[in-house]
Amino acid sequence: MEKYEQMKQVLDSIAEDMDKVKAGNKAAGTRVRTAMQEIKNLAQDLRKEVLEMRKQD
């Protein structure tokens, strides 16, 4: 479940940038979008791992 922990860390790391996005900071928006892409990739990897675990049972 390493991917799950990584996803949580990435999500926690963008909390401050989310506030900046609300205030209109465009650079923070770019950082948030980049982080969300990373979360998407990690989620896909985690999905594959879960499927593999299910196949092993």
Global model pTM greater than 0.75: yes
- Decide: 49 and 3 in contact? Cβ < 8 Å: yes
Would you state the structure tokens that stand for residue 24, as one six-digit string? 């209109």
Per-residue pLDDT of 10-55, as tens digits, reads 999 999 999 999 999 999 999 999 999 999 999 999 999 999 999 9
Domain of residue 48, residue span = 2-56
Check if the beta carbon of residue 42 is closer than 8 Å to that of residue 9.
no
Q: How many domains does the chain have?
A: 1
